[in-house]
Structure 1
Amino acid sequence: MPAERVDVVARAVTALLTAPEAAGRAFHLVHPTSLTLPALFEALRRAGHTLEPVSAAEWWRRVRFNAQHPAVHPLASLSEVARFMLSTDEDHVPPRFHAEDTWKVLRDRGVTPEPLDDAFLDLLVSHVDPPAAALERRRPKPLPHQHPCGSRGS
């Protein structure tokens, strides 16, 4: 899956804006190494999330079944794009982005890709609520008990 770190993107955009050889050209600003779903899933597991391995077909069936749930609805709404970008089906193959020319220009200007390694993935998923915290945050707070007449009675 194509990806890049936001700090690298910011430095790269600045470098390309000031590079005379970049004028009028298009650049694919993606990391030379793709981010893999298994690596992302493993980072989620290290963070304490329980993930049940299922086939892509079963996963999309569950997305469709739960499409109205607030946490699932955005993904369900973008299912065709997501299926294409995640390449979960044989008939949904994402495009290959060639970024060699982009990185040549950027390296000449001192910008290099940062690793998309376990340390980066752990930092990335550290911003995802742990399962218990996410559930607790969504659970409505109980209302204080009130007497039906508006007073506690004696």
Structure 2
Amino acid sequence: MNIFSFFSGAGFLDLGFELQGNYDIVFVNEFHEAFNRVYRFARHNMNIGAPANGYHIEDITEYLDGNHNERLHNLEQMVNQSKAQTLTGFIGGPPCPDFSVAGRNKGKEGENGKLSGTYGKRLHDDVLHISKKPLRGELSGFLSICQAEASCISLKVY
């Protein structure tokens, strides 16, 4: 299964999937360059090659702002090519502070909470036009590990 990773951080979620053996991380996006460097370092030291579609240091909101259409088009092409080859999934850990007491429970209205919505709904469903397909009976759409209204860590399978 090919996996596109957003909010990749230092890569621990991605590496867990990849080391399991049935997943291939083909796209990595982490907004913070320092975390992206740690991610690359870990893959290199574990003798895991670079993702087929590379490492990206991009703000995901820019895929949707109308000013970066080429970036969005490139992502759409990568996703469509992957879907033509094999089962394709998306994982990500959008920042969750707005869904905690420390984040004052701002939820989906907080700055980080808005990123969860951008990632979960607008990018996957509205922009990439990916329809949900059932996986193993009752399991479909999101497998989420989080509290409140958004998925902080999720796997979306198509």
More strand by share: 2
Asked which structure has the greater RCO (Cα within 8 Å, sep 6+), the reply is 1
Larger radius of gyration: 1
**TM-score, structure 1 length as denominator?**
0.25
**TM-score, structure 2 length as denominator?**
0.24
More helix by share: 1
